[in-house]
Amino acid sequence: MTLLLVALALIAASAIIPPLLPRAPAQRTAYLALLIGGCGLTAVAAIDALAAGTVVQRAWTSFVPGGDWVIGIDPLSAIFLIVIAVLGATNGVYGDADMRNDAHARRTTESNAFYAVLVASLVLVVAARNIVLFLAAWEVMAISSFLLVMTYHERAEVRRAGWIYAVATHTATLILMVMFALWSGAARDWSFTSLAAAAGAHAVSVGLLLLLALTGFGLKAGYVPLHFWLPPAHAASPSHVSALMSGIVIEMGIYGLLRVLTLLGAPPAWWAWLVFALGAASALLGVLWALAQRDIKRLLAYSSVEHIGIIVLAIGLGALGQAYHHPALAVLGYAAAVLHTVNHALFKSLLFMTAGTVYARTHTRNIEELGGLARRMPWTFLLFAIGAVAVIGVPPLNGFVSEWLVFLGLFDGARAMSDVRLVIFAAPVLALAGGLALACFANVTGIVFLGSPRSERTGRATEVGSSSLVPQAALALCCAAIGVAPALVAGVIAHAGAFLAGDPRWASASAAAPIGTLRGLTVFSIGLIAAVAVLAVARFALGRRHALRRGPTWACGYDAPTPRMQYTSSSFAAPLVTVFGALSGVRTHRGATVFHSEPRDIVLDDVLTRVWGRIQAAALRLRPIQQGRLHVYLVYVAAALLSGLTYFIIAR
């Protein structure tokens, strides 16, 4: 616990000390050393707590109202702390290099300071064990990430994205305050321990608290239909901020939901089914919307909506296991949710960083203007391809492992437990989402990196330096390790799953048996890699040397193809987008001589903006009563007094 406090102090120092130093190189060294040191210590503290297998907690008497300040580490927060540490360090190094290439020194210093504050607040959110500290850390997280989204505030679209994010995140905080206020009414004090003790005994129904948690934390996590702030905010932010936001900040919503579940105990069945259905809908719609995007960062943001959906679906599965008293399903569902959270953090951060390097070198986020980057940026291509294979969820990388666990839960629930057998209908939905994810990421990988450059600037792109590549390579290695040898993490996630399911002893009992089958998957993954290696050796080393000639791509006899004739990203996505019709959000404009299509966000552009427009129009109609002249207001005051007096007289 002391270690975690030292780590927090180091991360906080990396926000405060560098701006005080006189010269840029010293600033940079101090910032990176303090940030990496802090993140390293955070990871050590978390691993220490995981290895000890105990729940540690410490309280301080506070000088502000609201009771003692309590922080603690348990299996749930330990896993999140490790993710925060890994992403905080890698994105920090990457972001510093990226900002220095691109921006003024002052902006780099500011953005680094906000970044360190954000990382510190993330650590504090998962360590906090009382309401005031949790909400305070939550709010610091919201504000520092808002400031980071607003880094390039001179652009109008960045300001719009920033304000939408601010509204969404503060609505979330407000809902959480209401939830904690209702909840703490029956509690002895404002620590989480007392909240847990009061869970069964207070006047407000557990269902209401769970619904508030689902909305409040959902606005942060960003599942459908609460995802609307996510795509604009991710597109507007600097790349390392998008990477951290998508990797871990939105997953704080998942953390919050899981934390509330550990405090409230087994949820009612209707809530579990609701969460399950929300997750399935989000998984399918998220990837469908991703498919139609042309802005590579918006595409990745929608893909996050998909993966948050998969995590929420797994949480629903765990909650169903709790509600219907199936420990095996509860452990499996929660373990899958935790592992997918970790995996999504790793591969989505990696993808945002590689997308960031592409943007840094080509100055465009529009997929249709890119192409042929694999030859010009081979390392970036390799890293993006690793991220793409992981995000699609095909073997042998980590995305597959956790999706496989979710499928295992769905099949297991359907065959063994008759009261939850309907979960099987999510399996084909998830499989369809997997197919769409393959289409989506085959599209973006193929159009951006393969073929020929579609614009002149793309043709001149060059590879980035090692300070950008090394942090990405670190994340890619994590993806590969979990993917190739999932048995390595089986123990940790079984532990976390059992903790969330309500009884840590289940980690070693038969309830965790399905997670043990990760050994079979390890054999499969290694077998797959071995098969590729053996075939490659047989084909290229042992096979005959074949005559090899180079020539142009076969274009069915046409001999002057240009890069513009290549298939475009929107054409690639068109058949699937057409099948889903209006649900896909793509709007097309047809005229005699023009054809134009654009992806829109159904919730933000078609619902929220319109509703807000109506409210504004109604407010405008009230405008005539504000005349700005003193005597008019005097009339109002007199009228108000008179009607008040009349009311009192009549009421008598």
Q: Are 289 and 302 in contact (CB under 8 A)?
A: yes
Q: Using CB under 8 A, which of 29, 571, 588, 643 touches other proteins?
A: 571
Paired with 181 in beta bridges are none
Q: Where are the alpha helices (DSSP H) in 600-629?
A: 609-621
Which residue lies nearer to other proteins by CB, 445 or 458?
445
Determine if 485 is a binding residue for other proteins (CB under 8 A).
Answer: no
What residues between 437 and 466 interact with other proteins by CB under 8 A? Answer: 438-439, 442-443, 445-447, 450-452
How far is 638 from 635, CA to CA, in rounded Å? 5
Determine if 535 is a binding residue for other proteins (CB under 8 A).
Answer: yes
Q: Torsion over CA of 87, 408, 422 and 316, rounded to 10 degrees?
A: -20
Which residue lies nearer to other proteins by CB, 477 or 536?
536
Which residue lies nearer to other proteins by CB, 261 or 397?
397
| Cβ 425 to other proteins shortest distance, Å | 8
- Helix/strand/coil for 220: helix
Of 27-35, 147-155, 219-227, 396-404: span binding other proteins (CB under 8 A): 396-404
Of 111-119, 134-142, 319-327, 372-380: span binding other proteins (CB under 8 A): 372-380
Determine if 3 is a binding residue for other proteins (CB under 8 A).
Answer: no
| Cβ 295 to other proteins shortest distance, Å | 19
Q: Using CB under 8 A, which of 337, 566, 599, 603 touches other proteins?
A: 566
Determine if 395 is a binding residue for other proteins (CB under 8 A).
Answer: yes
Which residue lies nearer to other proteins by CB, 113 or 355?
355
User: Would you state the structure tokens that stand for residue 143, as one six-digit string?
Assistant: 């504000």
Q: What amino acid occupies position 43?
A: A
Which residue lies nearer to other proteins by CB, 556 or 625?
556
- Helix/strand/coil for 188: coil
CB environment 576-596: b (16+ within 10 A), e (fewer): bbeebeeebbbeeeeeeeeee
Which residue lies nearer to other proteins by CB, 431 or 639?
431
Determine if 343 is a binding residue for other proteins (CB under 8 A).
Answer: no
CA dist 66 → 60, 135, 202, 218, 438 (Å): 12, 11, 19, 26, 50
Which residue lies nearer to other proteins by CB, 22 or 551?
551
CA dist 238 → 104, 141, 356, 379 (Å): 14, 17, 8, 21
By rule CB under 8 A, what count of residues binds other proteins? 86
Determine if 372 is a binding residue for other proteins (CB under 8 A).
Answer: yes
Among all chains, which residue has been given the structure tokens 């001999």?
559
Determine if 333 is a binding residue for other proteins (CB under 8 A).
Answer: no
Which residue lies nearer to other proteins by CB, 550 or 590?
550
What residues between 540 and 559 interact with other proteins by CB under 8 A? Answer: 543-544, 546-556
First to last CA, the chain: 64
Cis omega (within 30 of 0) for bond into 225: yes
Among all chains, which residue has been given the structure tokens 């620590």?
191
Q: Is 281 exposed, middle or buried (0-12, 13-18, 19+ CB in 10 A)?
A: middle
Which residue lies nearer to other proteins by CB, 543 or 624?
543
What residues between 191 and 230 interact with other proteins by CB under 8 A? Answer: none
Q: Using CB under 8 A, which of 190, 271, 400, 506 touches other proteins?
A: 400
Candidates 289, 332, 325; CA nearest to 308 is: 289
Among all chains, which residue has been given the structure tokens 């009612």?
268
| Cβ 453 to other proteins shortest distance, Å | 10
Of 460-468, 483-491, 528-536, 595-603: span binding other proteins (CB under 8 A): 528-536
